[in-house]
Chains A and B, each alone.
Chain A
Amino acid sequence: MGKEMTKEQYSKMVEKASPNSPIVKNCIKAFIVGGIICTIGQIITNIAKFYGASIEEAGTYTSVILVVAASILTGLGLYSKLGKFAGAGSIVPITGFSNSVTSPAIEFKKEGMILGLGAKIFIVAGPVILYGVLTSVIVGIVYYILG
């Protein structure tokens, strides 16, 4: 029997034995699905503008429609299937944000409306909200000083 293996040696062994995610394939799928979601968003915006909405209003309609649609798809168990296929393609758009709020709401509802759903609804999206707001504030201050 040889000497005991070190953690570094084992780590190298594990790296060799562990298959990597198919990055190129995943990127292509993410690009296509993410692109389709954004195109749908653009179509909604264009339709809203066609019917006389301002650019700000059209943007708001688009966000609301996409968020509600993704939330419904999550409830029907379809968004998780899309996410499995598309990865970042369905996580990055606003629909992914909707999915990340709706899915804990469904999962933790069993622990009650307050301590379950209420406390855990932002378990996935929470960091995005916190650091998103924080970044906005910092950018706002910089913009104020420079502008």
Chain B
Amino acid sequence: MAKHIGKQSMRFEKNISIVSTASTVGTKEGEGPLREYFDVILQDNLLGQESWEKAESKIASDNLKLAINKANLSPQQIDYVVTGDLLNQCCGSTFGVRGLKIPFFGVFGACSTMGEAMSLCAILIDGGGAKNTVAGASSHFCSAEKQFRFPMDLGTQRTPTATWTVTGDGAAVITEGNDHPYITGITTGKIVDMGITDANNMGAAMAPAAADAIYQNLQDFNRKPDYYDYIVTGDLGYVGKELLLKLLKEKGYDISKNHMDCGIEIFDRDRQDTHSGGSGCACSAVTFAGMLYYKLRRRIINRILFVPTGALMSPTSVQQGESIAGIAHCVVIENQEVCQ
């Protein structure tokens, strides 16, 4: 059984194996620096569907099936699917999972969803409540713009601090087994709100939460930052990265050498005009399912701290003057097995 350690972490005692991942991305992501790591690059972001929302569900559905298929399992063998997205009532996931007939936990952690889903899958397995699980998260640029900002065809300018919602779905099949890499621990984030109200600067809203979660992970596990090959945040972007490094430095940790941000990795900001970087649930999910998993499997890297970051806000709360609350969930992923 998992051991609760330190203030807000868990260390697992079973081999919780990530046996497969799948990543599906939109056309813009398919033109980005990580394109060779993705399983599916869509030619049409509407996928022949009637709406952006339906397209997102279709992406989620197809990608979940692909991940299960790559693990040589059938949907009937999956005990739980834990997924989430950005749309109201998580409808992207609901209709993506609808046809799979698998017990479903829908989760909302904004762009930190992949971290939350992977944490819950690991807890389910370690507690003996499940053998095979799937964690996933999706987002779609157009459905997110429609819900959070403006209609697609409205002629507006984006600010330099704005981020670009990633279109896609990332999924990981997590089971009890002896195939690397493994989820060996988690640090569940607290809501940290430093009073940022600018919805076009979400990196700034999330950086304190990321700093808090990473700090707590290092404290709880009594590790130094260089224990990890990479500390990978979700979608802080260029602005958020700068703030994160400063915040952690003030707390006595220098992660500048091994920090990576999925939002910075996924797009080429000069060529693709994505301003502060990528964002959205899919940003960290597809970067993990694509590049990071590829490198872990081939032992190019062996230990990462995966920290999807989320800005917990709704258009309503922002209009009512609420600040943007940040959250980040740490998932420790290592090639070294926990027990023999």
Q: Chain A's nearest CB lies how many Å from the CB of B218?
A: 12
Q: Chain A's nearest CB lies how many Å from the CB of B277?
A: 13
Q: Chain A's nearest CB lies how many Å from the CB of B236?
A: 11
Instruction: Determine if A99 and B153 form an interchain contact, defined as CB atoms under 8 angstroms apart.
Output: yes
| B243 to A, closest residue via Cβ | A17
Q: Chain A's nearest CB lies how many Å from the CB of B247?
A: 7
Q: Chain B's nearest CB lies how many Å from the CB of A121?
A: 10
Instruction: Determine if B160 and A80 form an interchain contact, defined as CB atoms under 8 angstroms apart.
Output: no
Q: Which of A66-94 contact B (CB under 8 A)?
A: 74-75, 77, 79-84, 86-87, 90-91
In the bound assembly, the distance between CA atoms of A13 and B196 in angstroms comes to: 11
Q: Which of B123-162 contact A (CB under 8 A)?
A: 146, 150-161
In the bound assembly, the distance between CA atoms of A86 and B156 in angstroms comes to: 8
In the bound assembly, the distance between CA atoms of A137 and B239 in angstroms comes to: 46
Instruction: Determine if A103 and B150 form an interchain contact, defined as CB atoms under 8 angstroms apart.
Output: yes
Q: Which of B156-179 contact A (CB under 8 A)?
A: 156-161
In the bound assembly, the distance between CA atoms of A90 and B157 in angstroms comes to: 11
Q: Which of B187-213 contact A (CB under 8 A)?
A: 194-196, 201, 204, 208
Instruction: Determine if B151 and A107 form an interchain contact, defined as CB atoms under 8 angstroms apart.
Output: yes
Instruction: Determine if A1 and B252 form an interchain contact, defined as CB atoms under 8 angstroms apart.
Output: yes
Instruction: Determine if B156 and A91 form an interchain contact, defined as CB atoms under 8 angstroms apart.
Output: yes
In the bound assembly, the distance between CA atoms of A14 and B243 in angstroms comes to: 7
Q: Chain A's nearest CB lies how many Å from the CB of B327?
A: 16
Q: Judge whether A136 is part of the interface by a CB distance below 8 angstroms.
A: no
Q: Judge whether B322 is part of the interface by a CB distance below 8 angstroms.
A: no
Q: Which of A1-25 contact B (CB under 8 A)?
A: 1-2, 5, 7, 10-11, 13-14, 17-22
Instruction: Determine if B208 and A10 form an interchain contact, defined as CB atoms under 8 angstroms apart.
Output: yes
What does DSSP make chain A's interface, helix, strand, loop or mixed? helix
Q: Judge whether A129 is part of the interface by a CB distance below 8 angstroms.
A: no
> In the complex, which residues of chain B have a beta carbon less than 8 angstroms from the beta carbon of A61?
none
Instruction: Determine if B246 and A82 form an interchain contact, defined as CB atoms under 8 angstroms apart.
Output: no
The digit string for B90-115, where 1 denotes a CB below 8 A from any CB of A, is 00000000000000000000000000
A20-B160 contact given A1-B252, A108-B151, A124-B151, CB 8 Å threshold: yes
| A108 to B, closest residue via Cβ | B151
- B50 interface neighbour in A19, A84, A110, Cβ under 8 Å: A110
Instruction: Determine if A79 and B155 form an interchain contact, defined as CB atoms under 8 angstroms apart.
Output: yes
Q: Chain A's nearest CB lies how many Å from the CB of B287?
A: 22
Instruction: Determine if B204 and A83 form an interchain contact, defined as CB atoms under 8 angstroms apart.
Output: no
| A96 to B, closest residue via Cβ | B155
Q: Judge whether A100 is part of the interface by a CB distance below 8 angstroms.
A: yes
A5-B250 contact given A14-B243, A20-B160, CB 8 Å threshold: yes
Instruction: Determine if A7 and B194 form an interchain contact, defined as CB atoms under 8 angstroms apart.
Output: yes
- B204 interface neighbour in A18, A77, A90, A108, Cβ under 8 Å: A18
- B160 interface neighbour in A14, A18, A82, A90, Cβ under 8 Å: A18
> In the complex, which residues of chain A have a beta carbon less than 8 angstroms from the beta carbon of B151?
103-104, 106-108, 123-124
In the bound assembly, the distance between CA atoms of A106 and B150 in angstroms comes to: 12
Instruction: Determine if A84 and B153 form an interchain contact, defined as CB atoms under 8 angstroms apart.
Output: no
- A5 interface neighbour in B51, B153, B247, Cβ under 8 Å: B247
Instruction: Determine if A107 and B155 form an interchain contact, defined as CB atoms under 8 angstroms apart.
Output: no
Chain A residues in the interface with B (C-beta under 8 A): 1-2, 5, 7, 10-11, 13-14, 17-22, 26, 74-75, 77, 79-84, 86-87, 90-91, 96, 99-100, 102-104, 106-108, 110, 123-124
30 A-B pairs whose Cβ atoms sit less than 8 Å apart in the complex:
A5-B250, A13-B246, A14-B201, A14-B204, A14-B243, A17-B204, A18-B161, A18-B201, A18-B204, A18-B239, A19-B160, A21-B160, A22-B160, A80-B152, A80-B155, A81-B155, A82-B155, A83-B156, A84-B155, A84-B156, A84-B158, A87-B157, A91-B155, A96-B155, A99-B155, A102-B153, A103-B152, A103-B154, A108-B151, A123-B151
Chain B residues in the interface with A (C-beta under 8 A): 50-51, 146, 150-161, 194-196, 201, 204, 208, 239, 242-243, 246-247, 250-252
